[in-house]
Chains A and B, each alone.
Chain A
Amino acid sequence: MAVTKKSNQDFKQLLASASCALFAGNTLAVEVQEDWKYDAATLIYVEGDSRVTAIEPVISATKTYDSETKLNIKVAGDTLTGASPNGATPSDAVQTYTGPSGNGSYTTPANEQPLDDTFKDTRVSAAVNWVAPLNRDWSYGTGGYISSEHDYLSLGVNGSLSRYFNQKNTTLSFGLALASDTISPVGGTPEGLTVMSAYTGDDDDDDDDDGGDDDEDDDESSESKNGVDVIFGVTQVINRKTIMQFNYGISSASGYNTDPYKILSVIDDSSGTNYGGNYQIDGSNVYLYEKRPESRVKQSIYWQTKYQLDNNDILNLSYRYMFDDWGVTSHTVDFKYRFRFEKQYFEPQVRWYKQSKADFYQRYLTSSNYQTEDYASSDYRLGDLDTITLGLRYGYQFEDNTEFYTRFSVYQQTNTGDQGFGKLVSQELYPDTTATMLTLGYKF
């Protein structure tokens, strides 16, 4: 037998470490060394048409105690600047909106996309995760995170349990994550589906909308949202070159699911010269704050396969089907192929995503329905949406086991939907968005 003492030891390590990492943030490395290993990167994200620019530095430190016991700490920052769609429709006249703080205003020139250029944010987040074996057949993981922005705070904990079967060729996993978010919109929480006041921020206490139990609408209020995520997973070694994973996930978010900064235009649908134009009261355009249901349950089915070819290249293919009780369904296919050379690799990537709109998504409201809707949002992220990502990652491994890598990708979003009526038809209601992303990273 050509099995040496050294390779026996290798087997032990390999066997232990090849068991499957199920949950994001937990990786298993081959080397068993009680050192910290770091992965540091910065992502630069730039949208076309001078929209959002984001810079996100992140560092992840992993201490390996043995092949199955690891501690991971991740810290990330996030700076966003630029302009984001406020949800209103473009118009043939200049539009003026009250700023999010309620005391300023911003305008959109005629025939241009309404963007909120007061959009700015800085986020800091930290996460800690621990994975360890319980015994030969069981392992567990636990972790927590905090993420803070000037108007948003999120705290979360998670735990997972894995059971190995069939000589660790099959791993069943169960994971549970709890999150508690606090939202403190600048200038207070607007009451959903009420009219945005024309200039200064002191908002209505008035009428319309039936039974909104969004909090009271006055300044400095904060809202909360609680999340529960459950995942069941099966990871299966198929053969020496193939590993496969199936997950079923269910995720519930209850509380304030609305975006406090998004509004909807009200379009005049009474026949006349303003048919398809902005509906006005007392000479001012009418805009409503959006409102989403206070509960959302999402479910997903996920399948992933990794296959190593005879030439050592690796193919990584995944598919996700997601559906929720807001009426959104989506399909995601992600394909990566890693060309591996002795010291370096190239990894082209294609990701395709298609979603159908939420039941309450409307690109605009009309003068005849704006007082009768229970929920409405014109957030393009809840509309009919197709996106495609094309990416290329390159990595170079140095003699000392460190690695430099970079990834460039282009992300394109295409929305489709109702084209409006009257004057609105000549407006571009669903502009495409293109973003380019560059990541530079170093593992050491």
Chain B
Amino acid sequence: MKPIMLLKTLPLVSTILLLGCSDLGVKPWERDLLAQDDMSIISEPLESGLNDHIYFSKEASSGGQGFGGGGCGCN
């Protein structure tokens, strides 16, 4: 898929997702579990950082969850 094509379809995809997502979710008083540290999307940022660094230096892929790692001469 060409990057430009993806960029063009992105607003459409986002709109569909937003509409689709409007039925999902919780009320503010139902956030007790989601508010726990362990439930945040990146709950162990230090571990994620160390792992990203290892994988960046051993594999051809990086990033995805966040920016693509890098910043070193290890790959």
- Interfacial residues, chain A to chain B (CB-CB below 8 A): 3, 11, 13-15, 17-18, 20-30, 39, 41, 43, 45, 56, 58, 60, 74, 76, 78, 80, 121, 123, 125, 145, 147, 149, 151-152, 154, 156, 158, 165-167, 169-170, 172, 175, 177, 179, 181, 183, 227, 229, 231-232, 234-241, 243, 245-251, 259, 297-302, 304, 306, 308, 314, 316, 318, 320, 322, 324, 326, 328, 330, 332, 338, 340, 345, 353, 355, 358, 381-382, 385, 387, 393, 407, 411, 413, 435, 437, 439, 441
Across the interface, do A299 and B6 meet the contact criterion of CB distance under 8 Å? yes
* Of A39, A121, A177, the contact of B67 (CB 8 Å cutoff): A177
Which B residues are CB-close (under 8 A) to A411?
A: 54, 58
Across the interface, do A74 and B49 meet the contact criterion of CB distance under 8 Å? yes
Across the interface, do B28 and A15 meet the contact criterion of CB distance under 8 Å? yes
Across the interface, do A355 and B59 meet the contact criterion of CB distance under 8 Å? yes
Q: Which 8 A-B pairs have the closest CB atoms?
A: A169-B25, A24-B66, A152-B73, A14-B35, A302-B64, A320-B64, A154-B71, A147-B71
User: Shortest Cβ distance from B72 into chain A, in angstroms?
Assistant: 6
Closest residue of chain B to A177 (Cβ to Cβ) is B67
User: Shortest Cβ distance from A354 into chain B, in angstroms?
Assistant: 10
User: Shortest Cβ distance from B25 into chain A, in angstroms?
Assistant: 3
* SS of B interface (majority): loop
User: Shortest Cβ distance from B59 into chain A, in angstroms?
Assistant: 6
Across the interface, do A30 and B61 meet the contact criterion of CB distance under 8 Å? no
CA distance A78 to B39 in the complex (A): 30
Which A residues are CB-close (under 8 A) to B45?
A: 24-27, 39, 60
Contacts between chains A and B (CB distance < 8 A), count = 252
Across the interface, do A170 and B18 meet the contact criterion of CB distance under 8 Å? yes
Which B residues are CB-close (under 8 A) to A29?
A: 37
User: Shortest Cβ distance from B14 into chain A, in angstroms?
Assistant: 6
Closest residue of chain A to B38 (Cβ to Cβ) is A314
Across the interface, do A240 and B67 meet the contact criterion of CB distance under 8 Å? no
Closest residue of chain A to B60 (Cβ to Cβ) is A328
Across the interface, do A123 and B72 meet the contact criterion of CB distance under 8 Å? yes
* Of B10, B32, B60, B70, the contact of A14 (CB 8 Å cutoff): B32
Across the interface, do A439 and B63 meet the contact criterion of CB distance under 8 Å? no
Across the interface, do A165 and B3 meet the contact criterion of CB distance under 8 Å? no
Across the interface, do A22 and B66 meet the contact criterion of CB distance under 8 Å? yes
Instruction: Find residues 25-75 in chain B having any chain A CB closer than 8 Å to their own CB.
Output: 25-50, 52-55, 58-68, 70-75
Given A172-B18, A314-B38, A322-B61, A167-B49 contact (CB < 8 Å)? no
Query: Would you call B24 an interface residue if the criterion is a C-beta within 8 Å of the partner chain's C-beta atoms?
Result: yes
Query: Would you call B12 an interface residue if the criterion is a C-beta within 8 Å of the partner chain's C-beta atoms?
Result: no
Given A15-B28, A240-B33, A250-B39 contact (CB < 8 Å)? no
User: Shortest Cβ distance from B52 into chain A, in angstroms?
Assistant: 7
Which A residues are CB-close (under 8 A) to B36?
A: 30, 308
Across the interface, do A27 and B42 meet the contact criterion of CB distance under 8 Å? yes
Given A43-B50, A156-B71, A166-B21, A23-B59 contact (CB < 8 Å)? no
Across the interface, do B67 and A158 meet the contact criterion of CB distance under 8 Å? yes
Which A residues are CB-close (under 8 A) to B72?
A: 78, 123, 125, 147, 149, 152, 154
* Of A175, A237, A328, the contact of B61 (CB 8 Å cutoff): A328
Across the interface, do B6 and A248 meet the contact criterion of CB distance under 8 Å? yes
Across the interface, do A30 and B75 meet the contact criterion of CB distance under 8 Å? no
User: Shortest Cβ distance from A252 into chain B, in angstroms?
Assistant: 9
* Of A300, A345, A413, the contact of B63 (CB 8 Å cutoff): A300
Across the interface, do A247 and B41 meet the contact criterion of CB distance under 8 Å? no
Given A22-B41, A145-B71, A441-B46, A11-B29 contact (CB < 8 Å)? yes
Given A169-B25, A237-B26, A437-B54, A24-B65 contact (CB < 8 Å)? yes
Apart from A156-B71, A251-B63, A332-B64: 19 A-B pairs, beta carbons within 8 A: A11-B31, A24-B49, A24-B66, A27-B43, A41-B47, A58-B49, A74-B46, A76-B49, A166-B22, A177-B67, A237-B24, A250-B3, A298-B62, A300-B63, A306-B39, A314-B38, A353-B61, A355-B61, A393-B44
CA distance A18 to B32 in the complex (A): 9
CA distance A439 to B44 in the complex (A): 13
Which B residues are CB-close (under 8 A) to A17?
A: 35
CA distance A188 to B26 in the complex (A): 59
CA distance A316 to B69 in the complex (A): 21
User: Shortest Cβ distance from A190 into chain B, in angstroms?
Assistant: 15
